[in-house]
Structure 1
Amino acid sequence: MTSSPAALEIRLDDLTGEPTRALIAAHLSDMRSISPEESCHALDLSGLQQPSVQVWSAWLDGELAGVGALAQLDAANGELKSMRVADSHRGEGIGRAMLEHLIGRARQVGMSALWLETGSTPEFFAAQRLYESAGFVRCEPFGSYVLDPYSVFMTKKL
Structure 2
Amino acid sequence: MQRATSVRLEQPDQPEVVALVEALDAYQKPLYPAESFHGIDLQALLRPDVLFAVARDEAGIAVGCGAIVLQDGVGEVKRMYVAPACRGRGAGRALLDFLEVQARSLGCREFVLETGYLQTEAIGLYERAGYERCGPFGDYTDDPNSVFLRKAA
For the superposition of Structure 1 and Structure 2, which TM-score range results when normalised by the shorter chain? over 0.9
**Quick one: distance in 1 between partners of 2:23 and 2:3?**
26
* TM-score where L is the length of structure 2: 0.93
Q: Match of 1:55? A: 52
Q: Match of 1:155? A: 150
Closer/same/farther in 2, CA of residues 7 and 148 from structure 1, 3 Å limit: closer
Tell me the CA shift for residue 52 of structure 1. 1.8
Alignment of 1:41 onto 2:28:
no
Q: Match of 2:137? A: 142
Count of residues in Structure 1 that have an aligned counterpart in Structure 2? 151
Q: Match of 1:25? A: 22
Measured on the aligned residues, the alpha-carbon RMSD in Å equals: 1.5
Tell me the CA shift for residue 7 of structure 1. 6.1
Alignment of 1:111 onto 2:83:
no
Q: Give deviations 1:55-80, integer Å, cap 9, x for gaps.
A: 11010111111001010122x11100
Alignment of 1:82 onto 2:79:
yes
Tell me the CA shift for residue 16 of structure 1. 2.9
Tell me the CA shift for residue 85 of structure 1. 0.2
* TM-score where L is the length of structure 1: 0.90
Q: Match of 1:101? A: 98
8 Å contact 1:66–1:85 — kept in the other structure? Answer: yes
Q: Give deviations 1:71-109, integer Å, cap 9, x for gaps.
A: 0122x1110000000122111110011111111112111
Q: Match of 1:131? A: 126
Tell me the CA shift for residue 47 of structure 1. 2.3
Closer/same/farther in 2, CA of residues 6 and 22 from structure 1, 3 Å limit: closer
Give the match's secondary structure for 1:143.
Answer: coil
Q: Give deviations 1:99-145, integer Å, cap 9, x for gaps.
A: 11111112111111000001112xx1111111111110011100000
8 Å contact 1:28–1:43 — kept in the other structure? Answer: no
**Quick one: distance in 2 between partners of 1:50 and 1:30?**
25
The unaligned stretches of length 5 or more in structure 2 are none
Residue identity opposite 2:125 in structure 1? L
Tell me the CA shift for residue 50 of structure 1. 2.3
**Quick one: distance in 1 between partners of 2:151 and 2:54?**
22
Q: Match of 1:71? A: 69
